[in-house]
Chain A
């Protein structure tokens, strides 16, 4: 099953590109001109994205380097352990929605320290894979199209992340213990 999906993943992009071009030729679409036109739009988009991303990344960098984030993690650790989240996993649980790179380095650290086949290693792997960086996604998608009022998106995203953490603990304990 896994091998299968990997093969599909590798083939998907080249095949998609080929299919698009073949259909374009059949329907007599001037593919190159249209491609360039769409590409220009992509460039404009990435330029307008920069201020949003820069603001968010600088804010996160400051929170991490000043120790404010660590203090926050220390504060939440006892609360999280009450709901059954191991203390060593707590930093990952808190960082996952905030910063993709920080979470990945914590996951690597846990796998390195406890071993990939330990309970904590499996738990960290599952948590890392089963949710995405909420803050980054909201910044990029809302930023690119200039949405200023996010509505409930952040709230729903973070609640879902919290559920994801709890669910990961339950599933990994159930599957592997």
Chain B
């Protein structure tokens, strides 16, 4: 309005809309594949076994989720996919985890475990930032992977502080 860029705004509006459609279509391919696969895993009892195995570690993060609930299995699947940089597998598992958590809370308000789960996701869990390494290689870095250590360290600190802030806010909410 003030910058005389109304034309670009018009263009951007529809470009943004069509970007969303493209995104959803590419997302639907991984959603269909992974949700199909994970349903098989769930029916075969793999998710439950997985959840039981790592229960002691994640129990403290998600105290609201009962023992052996499938939500835990999906949360763990999402975390492992994230750690190995498999973003397109992580999203379907994460959505399933949210769905299971919604079954526990039975409301359309975000529950504590949902917020904890998302905050861990937004602060990222990646061990190897493949995209960034790719860009660095393209511009002929002498050591494209030298930022891996700094990235892991930064990721670790942000994730820990995100969990801490989330906990503090939960406490003030309950008061």
Contact = CB atoms under 8 A, between A and B. Distances in A.
A116 B136 contact: yes
Q: Give chain B's interface secondary structure class.
A: helix
Contacts of B146: 122
Nearest to A36: B36
B124 A130 contact: yes
B168 to A, nearest CB: 9
Interface string B149-170: 1110111011101100110010
A130 B5 contact: no
Contact of B154 (A6, A39, A167): A167
Interface of B: 1-3, 5, 8-9, 11-13, 15-17, 19-21, 23-25, 27-28, 31-41, 43-46, 84-86, 89, 91-92, 94-95, 98-99, 102, 108-110, 114-115, 118-119, 121-124, 126-132, 135-136, 139-151, 153-155, 157-159, 161-162, 165-166, 169, 173
Interface of A: 1-2, 5-6, 8-9, 12-13, 17, 19-21, 23-24, 27, 29, 31, 34-43, 45-47, 49-50, 53-54, 56-62, 64-67, 97, 104, 107-108, 111-112, 115-117, 121-122, 125-134, 137-138, 140-142, 144-153, 155-157, 159-161, 163-164, 167-168, 171-172, 175-176
